[in-house]
A and B are shown apart, each in its own frame.
Chain A
Amino acid sequence: MNGQHTIRVTVNGIRYERSAEPRLLLSDFLRQELGLTGTHVGCEHGVCGACTVLLDGSAVRSCLLFAVQADGHAVTTVEGLSSGDQLHPLQQAFHEAHALQCGFCTPGILLSLIPWLEEHPNPDETEIRAALSGNLCRCTGYANIVTAVQRFAAGAGSR
């Protein structure tokens, strides 16, 4: 448990080298060591999905990974989706469909959906709901999130 390990990780295109205890969660590493607090922690047991980030392009629960497991990998967090106020098209769709209220679960939902939408560019509502079912949202009742995803998918062809 003791001892520090060196972690070399690329997050949102920036290379970081930090040392950390092997037990440090990736979520805590991102938030506390790198100051990327857009990754939110809701349950720390892998159910709510708020802490979802991309590890080499795949959606993972950062509360279920240790930071050392990200050594040598590339991570994308919500901070890496937009450039300034220029939103990612899915973020824009969330805004236009009023798909967020308190916004706490939103970063994890965005990052769960982005790789999934790459593989499922034309999902129907049932598929969208199934894809969303791994993320908990207490505010919205999900309807507008479904709409946002539909809006994004409909617009994807024109991008």
Chain B
Amino acid sequence: MTSRYFGERVLRLEDTRLLTGRALFVDDVQLPGMLHVAFLRSDEAHARITSIDVTAARTRPGVIAVYTAADLGDYWRPGPLLVPPPPIQGLVFNTATQVPLAKDKVRHAGEPLAMVVAESRYVAEDALEDIQVDLEPLPAVTELEAALAEGAPLVHEQFGSNLAAQVRQTKGDYAAARATAHTIITRRFHYDRGASAAIENRAVAAQWDARAEELTIWDTTQAPIPIRNGLAPMLGLRESQVRVIAPFIGGGFGPKIMMYYPEEVLVPWAAMRLQRPVKWTEDRRENFYATTQERGQLHDAELAVAKDGTILGVRDRFLHDTGAYDPYGLTVPINSQCTLLGPYVVPNYESEFTAVFTTKPIVTPVRGAGRQHGVFVMERLLDFAARELGIDRVEIRRRNLIPRDAFPYDHEILFQDFRPLVYDSGDYQAALDKAVEVSGYARFVREEQPRLRREGKHIGLGVVSYIEGTGIGPYEGARVTIEPSGTVRLATGVGTQGQGHFTTFAQIVADVLGVTPDAVQVTTGDTREFSWGSGTFASRGAVVAGSACHAAALKVRDRILTVAAPLLGVPGDELEISGGQVRVRGATDRAIGLGELARKANPLRGAVTPGTEPGLEATAYFGPDRGNTANGVHAIFVEVDPETAAVTILRYVVVHDCGTVINPLVVEAQVQGGVAHGIGNSFYEQLSFDENGQLLNASFMDYLLPTALDVPTVEMAHLETPSPLNPLGTKGVGEAGAIPTAAAFAQAIEDALPDSGLEITEMPLSPCRLYELLVAARERRTDA
């Protein structure tokens, strides 16, 4: 492959459509006769449904239909379990998946009770006011430990407790390691929920074409193909009768990979039943309740270390808040369990988690998907160990990094993809060294920080390492076609939410086929164009779908050579493909354009050799043996006002290694965006539920997303340790930026206030919460 575009900062091909307002988002779908939906949602977090009376709503002018659970008949059924638990010995898992409309009982505020279909959204919302609902409130289940206590109110009575799952994974003999330790660091860590907060809320539109007997669904999903595969049998249709289109999606960040949301199941059903197009678009308030969330965990962890800081073992017991239902299985807590090990040699590990049902919105992956928690716990434990042992915090990390010659490195536990947690490649020392160099760590600690402190400035530095398991299976596919126009069409199944797939996939194919990226027309997320695949999640688009694009392009390249060889009168290996032509090597006048070749490969008359396939087209698939492991180091400089607890980020440095980079422009932007998300999760964003399970900050007025004033421009350095698990050598990067931010933040704040006695063991912080922690630390010191 003569590389010309792979690795280059190619400007994005999708931008013009987005910049001019022509790009289609789901809510832009408007069809003649379209009806609009509003949902009546529960005001209570936990309640028995005594009655729902929709009589008045049904008679309101403009209302076409009102449905409750009772009206759904056989269509009412809990959603499928999306991710079954991995085969871990002794694992306990209680399945309770979401239902289309609540029947008998509601289990979180915002759970839908009734669906109104009307001529306009305005009328549909008017009709919600007409519905009489009697709910008998039950005690909410909001605290994880209380949820497991004897006599706690039950979210799902059939299980006899609120235990959703219990999983224990071990490696080595932690108890024995503990007995030999010089120091044991024991802490409790709390991570709370945030919102994914894509600026585009969810939406679903559906149109039943009775003549063609085809259903078209536009859906803000990260997984259009599985949505089609699941909805078709639910609706009594063949898969081929259902087309799911995930057009431009206004940010995914995880919750759009959750599948068979109530609205997603009900809107197509209503469109078929009413024989009219139907659309529902979530509003922002609904998004805070009805779109899945993440990050509630409570860890009791301990680190056993030798005197020199060598990690002897880790024990972690944690509770994971899965919300009212657990359709996404154990992906999030298993990510936490695995990612805790980080880039370190941990010879003995004992990790047990209990997933807990609560009366809060459903938990499924959000950018990072549980990895944050593991990184936070491990990095914090190392910080406390370093302090107690009097070892420099970078040095304690360096002493424990997996050596560069130890790959593939087996952690001896199972990862979320059901495969052993084996890291494929990496150079963790190099990443740490680079971060130390770029951040100026040594000079800062030795010279600048003491000087700043003398000047009364409270400036701290945090340096943390992380790994991210990315690019997991099972597989993705792609079809490459050279059209008679000379345009290369590339279709792949994954949906796109802003990652630049239209460009990066085009770069991969362009190099193989000797064309420019803008000659490659990419289609993603339309089941009619490509109907095999699983979706965009786990930072896997470039790795898995990208590799499939590469494989399909190679097959087409072979086709080009096979078809062109007899036409140009030389063997295929004497041909080269470039500039949109295939030509005899060294003879520029003996060439044929790819478009013309495509026409010749599709004759209208005459005979061909039996077995010949027409056209220049190929489909290929790629499934990795297991996920690969990206890594990096974040360094953050903050200034803290010890009186007000206001924090200013002065610098943010990221060294990251996502294997071979397809497009540095895109990779850097993914990291920058991830860091912004991480900053939000660390310092601004917290979903505040009260003891009744009511969300107190369900608006952008009260739930603070970081703005341009809060997010610095990240200084970045790339390292490239190619992955041996795919032909491109790439690893995922989509989630990386968001993963270690909280750990870096915590270390930096403590470093800024070294005499405060402050110890940060919870996330997210806020200026108010940090102030409280500072006051508490001050009081502790005064008492002492």
Contact = CB atoms under 8 A, between A and B. Distances in A.
Interface of A: 21, 23-24, 28, 31-32, 35-45, 47-48, 50, 77-79, 81-82, 85, 87, 91, 94-96, 98, 100-107, 110, 128-130, 132-146
Contact of B676 (A103, A128, A142): A142
A95 B199 contact: no
B25 A104 contact: yes
A5 B708 CA distance: 40
Given A32-B30, A107-B21, A137-B199, 17 more contacts: A37-B24, A38-B20, A40-B200, A48-B284, A82-B19, A87-B20, A98-B11, A98-B665, A98-B666, A103-B18, A103-B248, A128-B708, A136-B700, A138-B705, A140-B672, A142-B708, A143-B672
Given A91-B20, A133-B707, A139-B251, A105 B12 contact: no
B701 A45 contact: yes
Interface string B114-134: 000000011000000000000
Contact of A43 (B15, B21, B669, B700): B700
B709 A129 contact: yes
Given A130-B709, A141-B711, A103 B20 contact: no
B733 interface: no
B494 to A, nearest CB: 15
B27 interface: yes
Contacts of B281: 41
Contacts, number: 179
Nearest to A85: B16
A127 to B, nearest CB: 11
Contacts of B49: none
A100 B239 CA distance: 35
B578 to A, nearest CB: 27
B273 interface: no
A76 to B, nearest CB: 11
B253 interface: yes
Contact of A106 (B19, B197, B672, B707): B19
B500 interface: yes
B352 to A, nearest CB: 34
A135 B497 CA distance: 19
A28 B281 CA distance: 12
Nearest to B705: A136
Contacts of B71: none
Contact of B20 (A78, A96, A130): A78
B714 interface: yes
Contact of B18 (A44, A48, A106, A143): A106
Given A35-B30, A98-B12, A43 B284 contact: yes
Contacts of A110: 19
Nearest to A80: B21
Given A98-B12, A101-B500, A104-B200, A140 B250 contact: no
B22 interface: yes
A134 B707 CA distance: 8
Nearest to B699: A45
Contacts of B15: 94-95, 100, 103
Given A43-B699, A102-B498, A140-B676, A38 B22 contact: yes
Given A39-B21, A138-B198, A95 B699 contact: no
B201 interface: yes
A101 B19 contact: no
Contact of B27 (A35, A41, A85): A41
Contact of A47 (B16, B28, B249, B701): B701
A80 to B, nearest CB: 9
Contact of B21 (A21, A77, A102, A146): A77
B199 A138 contact: yes
Interface SS majority for chain A: loop
Given A133-B707, A141-B673, A143-B711, A91 B19 contact: yes
B499 interface: yes
Contacts of A37: 21, 24-25, 27-28, 30
A140 B709 CA distance: 13
Interface string B422-450: 00000000000000000000000000000
B675 interface: yes
B602 interface: no
A50 B25 CA distance: 13
Interface in B1-40: 11-12, 14-16, 18-25, 27-28, 30
A103 B700 contact: no
A117 to B, nearest CB: 15
Contacts of A85: 16, 20
B713 interface: yes
A62 to B, nearest CB: 13
Contacts of A35: 30
Contacts of A139: 251, 498, 669, 673
Nearest to B679: A141
Given A45-B284, A95-B12, A103-B18, A144 B250 contact: no
A100 B500 CA distance: 10
Contacts of A133: 707-709
Nearest to A104: B250
Most chain B CB within 10 A, of A45, A100, A135, A138, is at A138
Contacts of A24: 122
A77 B20 CA distance: 10
B16 A87 contact: yes
B283 interface: yes
A77 B19 CA distance: 11
A146 B707 CA distance: 12
B249 A102 contact: yes
Contacts of A138: 197-199, 251, 253, 673, 676-677, 705
Question: Chain B CB within 10 Å — which of A35, A82, A103, A128 has the most?
Answer: A103
Contacts of B665: 98
A81 B737 CA distance: 33
Interface string B277-290: 00001011000000
Contacts of B18: 100, 102-103, 106
8 closest residue pairs by CB, A with B = A38-B21, A104-B250, A102-B498, A103-B18, A141-B676, A101-B498, A47-B700, A37-B28
A120 B714 CA distance: 25
Given A37-B28, A101-B500, A129-B709, A94 B19 contact: yes
Contacts of A21: 122
16 contacts: A35-B30, A40-B250, A47-B699, A47-B701, A82-B19, A82-B20, A96-B11, A98-B12, A98-B669, A102-B248, A102-B498, A103-B18, A104-B250, A133-B708, A138-B253, A138-B673
A2 B371 CA distance: 52
A94 B500 CA distance: 14
Contacts of B11: 95-96, 98
B16 A79 contact: no
Contacts of A50: 199
B283 to A, nearest CB: 6
B713 A103 contact: no
A138 B711 CA distance: 11
Contacts of A132: 707-708
B700 A140 contact: no
Given A35-B30, A101-B500, A133-B707, A79 B20 contact: yes
